[in-house]
Amino acid sequence: MRQVLTLGIVASWVVMATLLVQRHARPSAEPLMLPTAATLDERDEWFGVYAEGRKIGHAHRVTARTEDGYAFYEDSVVALAMLGVPQTLRTALATETDDTFALRSFTFTLTSPATEFSAHGTSDGHRLDVTYGAAGHEAELSLPLDDPIHLPSTLRPHVLAAAPAPGTRYTLPVFSPMTLGNEPMTVTIEGREQLPGTVGAPEALKLSEEYGGVRTTVWLDDTGAVLRETTALGFALEREPRAMALRGADDHAPIDLVTVSRIPLTGTIPSPRGAALLKLRVTGAGRTTIPNAPPRQHLRRDLLRVVREPMPVAAPLDEMRQASLAPYLLAAPLIEADDPEIAARARAIVGDTDDGVVAARRLVHWVYAHVAKEPSVTVPSARAVLAAGRGDCNEHAVLLTALARASGIPARMVAGAVYANDGFYYHAWTELWLGAWISADAVFDQLPVDATHVKLMDGGPERHIALVSVIGRLAFEVEGVSS
């Protein structure tokens, strides 16, 4: 079993969420001057998608008028690899709005060799109703709205119409059809400049957009059309004629996201799965994002000390339902703990034990034994993973989290890095409340996990996009390890 295939997939999923998905947003508290309907021209735009200067695919965007609003459409095709395994990823997003660009409906699909994820929803301005998941295993959610929601791509012509001064900044709550959650996005007017790499071209309006710690830079022409977008890990969209955009990816091995995102390491760890204590010297601008999370993880200046936490002897299940832990027992988008099939499976796994420690061990081992370790670049949903029985670290973690919550054990997902084979790779696992937060990794059948698991954040998949702000900005050096 190539367990390393389940590592680093966090990074690939995050890149998809960052680069290839148009996000939905509602107006900021600082009002923009809205253009009249006629100021947004109909468009049919094509882009080449590049990474590290190499072409990896294309994107297509269409803006069209409807009888009383607008229709927006975007699709993309990108060729990547995960540890040498080619992955062609396709996305499509179709949206309809009214003439003020308020969202009426959307349909989103992400297709990879592993599966197809879709999400579609409608909004009346007060509520957004969404159905999501793999075919035959959909779930539903309803999100209340304070205001109608909008697309960032339609906010760009608003910015042009308002003619704001350089330095003007707007903060926008954003809904993403991949993460099924809201996060603030900040748009900053950087000013006008000639598009980098061009000679004699007219000046473009430069904007920066920050979402979940990820920064995207956008250059627009005077009509609001995109000339170039650049984002994390060297990914970029370049406006091109249709024929040029549709030309295949460059003739070379596809960029391997797992290898590209690996954390540089000095030193080795001979027996990582048995490590009880690990000391790492941490360098790079991303060091400040590593949390000090005692008793397991301690960071003092640039020295990180990780200790495998002791396992409680027992933890009665009837003592788990504390008010402060209530959020970690609830169902959430992608963590469908209230799904009847997940609840039934949890009861069957846990059996008649009333000891949370025994129940937790049974759950971890069941997910380890029944979910095949396969690369799976899609949106992780516990309901879909239970049905498919395969996935990478995201799928293992989201299913274990949902099963634990359904069993009455508070649980939360964790994103970070783990040592495997020859270095540290981005990874996801779970923490279970057993009188204290205890780490659990169903990929390795560990409870608690070994000391090479370095936590960067906790929270569901909607938070993992923030990892992009860390990738390429961390390096580790082994200072000491013991079993």
- 239 and 269 in a common domain: no
pLDDT at 176: 66
- 189 and 89 in a common domain: yes
- 295 and 180 in a common domain: no
pLDDT at 392: 82
Q: For residue 451, count other CB atoms closer than 10 A to its CB.
A: 27
Q: What is the pLDDT of residues 297-327, one digit of tens each?
A: 999 989 999 999 999 888 888 888 787 889 9
Pick 385 or 421 by higher pLDDT.
Answer: 385
118-122, 248-252, 264-268: the lowest-pLDDT one: 248-252
- The position carrying tokens 């999923």 is 13
Residue 202 covered by a domain? yes
- 421 and 314 in a common domain: yes
Helical segments of 199-256, H only:
242-246
- 213 and 81 in a common domain: yes
- 408 and 280 in a common domain: yes
Strand ranges of the sheet holding 475-482, from the earlier edge strand across to the other edge: 265-266, 475-482, 277-283, 303-307, 297-300
Residue 3 covered by a domain? no
Tell me: pLDDT of 1 over 70.
Answer: no
Q: Which domain holds residue 280?
A: 262-482
51-55, 215-219, 358-362: the lowest-pLDDT one: 51-55
pLDDT at 289: 83
pLDDT at 39: 54
Kindly state the tokens that stand for 362: 């049974």
Tell me: pLDDT of 258 over 90.
Answer: no
Residue 21 covered by a domain? yes
Mean pLDDT of 406-421: 91
Q: Which residues contact 482 (CB under 8 A, 6 or more apart)?
A: 275, 276, 277
- 290 and 143 in a common domain: no
Residue 254 covered by a domain? no
pLDDT at 11: 44
pLDDT at 328: 94
Cα distance between residue 74 and residue 106, in whole Å: 11
Q: Which DSSP letter does residue 256 get?
A: B
Cα distance between residue 211 and residue 209, in whole Å: 7
pLDDT at 38: 43
pLDDT at 221: 86
Q: What mean pLDDT value characterizes the chain?
A: 81
3-state secondary structure of 155: helix
Kindly state the tokens that stand for 480: 């000491």
pLDDT at 29: 39
Domain boundary among 222, 246, 270: 246
- 367 and 288 in a common domain: yes
pLDDT at 374: 76
Domain boundary among 189, 211, 246: 246
State yes or no: cis peptide before 291, omega within 30 of 0.
no
- 176 and 31 in a common domain: yes
pLDDT at 17: 47
Report whether 460 contacts 388 (CB < 8 A). no
Residue 287 covered by a domain? yes
Phi-psi region of 244 (alpha: psi -120 to 50; beta: other; left: phi over 0): alpha
Q: Express as a percent the part of the chain with pLDDT over 90.
A: 30
Domain boundary among 246, 278, 296: 246
Residue 2 covered by a domain? no
Q: What is the pLDDT of residues 185-238, one digit of tens each?
A: 788 899 999 888 887 778 888 988 877 667 889 998 887 788 998 877 678 889
pLDDT at 373: 83
Tell me: pLDDT of 184 over 90.
Answer: no
Kindly state the tokens that stand for 468: 């992009």
Residue 201 covered by a domain? yes
- 205 and 330 in a common domain: no
Helix axes 393-406, 356-370, angle to 10 degrees: 140
Residue 341 covered by a domain? yes
Strands in 268-333 per DSSP E: 277-283, 297-300, 303-307
Q: Which residues contact 270 (CB under 8 A, 6 or more apart)?
A: 481
Q: Would you place residue 159 in the very low, low, confident or very high pLDDT band (cuts 50, 70, 90)?
A: low
pLDDT at 453: 95
- 268 and 163 in a common domain: no
Q: Tell me which range, 100-104, 285-289, 404-408, is most confidently predicted by mean pLDDT.
A: 404-408
Mean pLDDT of 420-448: 92
Tell me: pLDDT of 155 over 90.
Answer: no
Count of the separate structural domains present in the chain: 2
Q: For residue 165, count other CB atoms closer than 10 A to its CB.
A: 8
The CA-atom distances, in angstroms, between 268 and each of 271, 297, 308, 483 are: 9, 20, 18, 14
Q: For residue 100, count other CB atoms closer than 10 A to its CB.
A: 14
Task: For residue 330, give the CATH number of its domain.
Answer: 3.10.620.30
pLDDT at 25: 38
Q: How far is residue 249 CA from its own chain's centroid?
A: 24
3-state secondary structure of 69: strand
pLDDT at 157: 59
- 281 and 235 in a common domain: no
* CA-based end-to-end distance of the chain: 24
Cα distance between residue 403 and residue 427, in whole Å: 20
